[in-house]
Structure 1
Amino acid sequence: MIAYRFLTEDDTSAFCHKVTEALAKGWQLHGPPTYAFDHANGTMRCGQAVTKEVEGEYEPGMKLGKL
């Protein structure tokens, strides 16, 4: 199965570290990153979709970050 995650974070180095950690764990980039202003918090936010081929079948409630 192909697992999908959408990583988000404020526009700081923490976002880059989050994506780099996912890549180090075998996730692959899926499409371009996104960048938007979060009006509620007054900050810029980044997002990046990642996918990973994993064994097994999808089950609701599975912890995708642990794959």
Structure 2
Amino acid sequence: MKLSARNQLPGKVKAIDVGVVTAEVVIALDGGGELTAVITKKSVENLGLTVGKKVYAVVKSTEVMVAID
């Protein structure tokens, strides 16, 4: 599958916390660090997500905010 999104970050599922409707999916990125995505419970099922599964975090946004302390 090809996507127009430039930010495709490879990693592996580190944890999945499934709620009634949504789930938090923690992805350990190949380059270091972690990213947490909130997706529907149905999407977790449809994608067959399990801990250790290879995935891509795809970031498509029209706006990115930058902050400093």
TM-score (structure 2 length as normaliser)? 0.30
| Bigger share in helix | 1
Tell which has more relative contact order, 1 or 2 (C-alpha 8 A, sep 6+): 1
TM-score (structure 1 length as normaliser)? 0.30
